[in-house]
Amino acid sequence: MLSRARSTYGGLGPDRAKAAYAWFRAFRRTRPFWGGVWLVAGGWTVLKFSLSSLQLIVSTGFGGVAGYLVGGGMILCGLIPLALPAQRYTFGLIGAVLAVVSLVVSNLGGFLLGMLLGVLGGSMMVGWGVKRPRRRAVEG
């Protein structure tokens, strides 16, 4: 009875899960996925450690806003090449430079962790090479 309800209402069956995993694997192999993940993680770390009250940010001026700009820029540089893989060099280099700049403008670059993750992700993006999706094995 339960299996009939799942198939009737479009539940996540084993065939659908395999198809979703196959799609994700092809997506991951044709884009600089891991470089983007590490760059987004570094940007999030820089952004997280630069959070403070709005009154403090306004009173400090550009120094308070710089952490938000650098962290947000790193996150964008990690996400854009996932949609446009041909732009991986540009955004990988910009992301790595922003990660190094975060050392100065945002609490030692998220206490060095955000900077290291950002440099790692940016360099992985620049060094990434295009891989074709795997062909399915021929049955027979």
pLDDT value at residue 3 = 52
What's the whole-model pTM score?
A: 0.78
Whether 1 has a pLDDT exceeding 60, the answer reads no
Measuring CA to CA, how many Å separate 13 from each of 2, 3, 8, 9, 21?
12, 9, 11, 11, 12
The CA-based diameter of the chain, rounded to the nearest angstrom, is 72
Please say whether the beta carbons of 101 and 110 come within 8 A.
no
Closest CA to 101 of 127, 125, 77, 128: 77
pLDDT tens digits for range 3-44: 554 544 556 678 899 999 999 998 988 899 999 999 999 999
What is the distance between the alpha carbons of residues 49 and 47, in angstroms, rounded to a whole number?
6
Q: Which of 77, 79, 125, 132 is nearest to 99 (CA)?
A: 77
pLDDT digits 0-9 by tens, 65-105: 888 899 999 999 999 999 999 999 999 999 999 999 999 88
